[in-house]
Amino acid sequence: MEQRTNEQVAMRVSALTIVENIGLSAFKLAAGLLAHSGAMVSDAVHSASDVMTTLVVMVGVKLANKASDKEHPYGHERLECVAAILLAVMLGLTGLGIGWAGVEKISAGGAGLAAPGGLALAAALVSILVKEAMYWYTRAAAKKTGSGALMADAWHHRSDALSSVGSFIGILGARMGLPILDPIASVVICVFVVKAAVDIFRDAVSKMTDRSCDDATLQVLRETVLANEQVLGVDRLTTRLFGDKFYVELEIATDPDLPLLRAHEIAEQVHDAVERDFAKVKHCMVHVNPAEKHP
């Protein structure tokens, strides 16, 4: 039920994002063309690319929430990481395209560049406000659902807001008599976009590998296990990240004179406590060892 609810939240946020990006990119493109601002046209392309990346997020979340099957007994969570990697590549290519266009204009020495109109400046301001609001909205949903792809989309919104800040500064400078600042702003936008793409890519690849949880999580896990008075020690505690979820393998020590049925009950208690207290635990395996007796 939780996965279904998380999926519905992600789909609702993504649908709203698509509508917002279509409207905003159309507005910025019109403003850029009418006001003769290359920076604003570049910014509009960035917003338009968000529509495609959000679709990738929606597909990734949908596939990641599919139930386990014969071919994928451990589930499909890593498909969301694949979606985040695709998003990062698309975002990076968009940023490089924006930067290349700006460099070409700078290399031409600013020949033929005209000061952009006031409409471009207003469009940049509107874009900053809208995209920053979408960042916080999507970020909240990503934290609620634990979705890495949705968090990547949130940072895509933030990169768009930052690129609009670059557009605003470039357009303002161009209107003050330095039209070369407009293509320079496009290059600055490129840097922000590519950095966001690299960060998203590194995070997704990290989640694709079999890493352990951080030390703080391991410590809280250990404390949860030892909270059971029948557990005399933790002989082994390992974790393995699987997308946004993680597996736990435990070896606990109990009184060696306990009946098998009682030892099994203790293992079940520990298993249930871990999966209850850690929402991101996909599965917990508990093995019982006899505690060593000391003379």
State whether 232 and 134 are in the same domain.
Answer: no
Tell me how crowded residue 129 is: count the other CB atoms within 10 A of its CB: 11
Q: What is the pLDDT of residues 220-274, one digit of tens each?
A: 999 999 999 899 989 999 888 776 678 899 999 999 888 999 999 999 999 999 9
Query: Considering 164, 180, 208, which residue would you say is the last residue of a domain?
Result: 208
State whether 238 and 170 are in the same domain.
Answer: no
Q: What is the pLDDT of residues 55-106, one digit of tens each?
A: 777 777 676 666 666 666 555 666 777 777 887 887 788 778 778 877 877 7
Nearest to 232 by CA among 266, 199, 188: 266
Domain membership flag for residue 295: no
Q: Count the domains in the chain.
A: 2
State whether 229 and 129 are in the same domain.
Answer: no
pTM value is 0.58
Q: CATH number for the domain including 176?
A: 1.20.1510.10
Query: Considering 186, 208, 230, which residue would you say is the last residue of a domain?
Result: 208
For residue 268, the enclosing domain spans 215-290
State whether 110 and 196 are in the same domain.
Answer: yes
Query: Considering 180, 208, 236, which residue would you say is the last residue of a domain?
Result: 208
Domain membership flag for residue 99: yes
**Residues contacting residue 148 through CB under 8 Å, at least 6 positions apart:** 80, 81, 84, 142, 203, 204, 207, 243, 244
Q: What is the pLDDT of residues 279-293, one digit of tens each?
A: 888 888 999 999 876
pLDDT at 269: 93
The helix/strand/coil state of 237 is strand
CA dist 239 and 214 (Å) reads 9
Domain membership flag for residue 253: yes
Q: What is the pLDDT of residues 165-208, one digit of tens each?
A: 777 877 787 777 776 776 777 787 788 778 878 887 887 777 77
Buried b (16+ CB within 10 A) or exposed e, 220-246: ebeeebeeeeebbebeebebebbbbbb
State whether 236 and 186 are in the same domain.
Answer: no
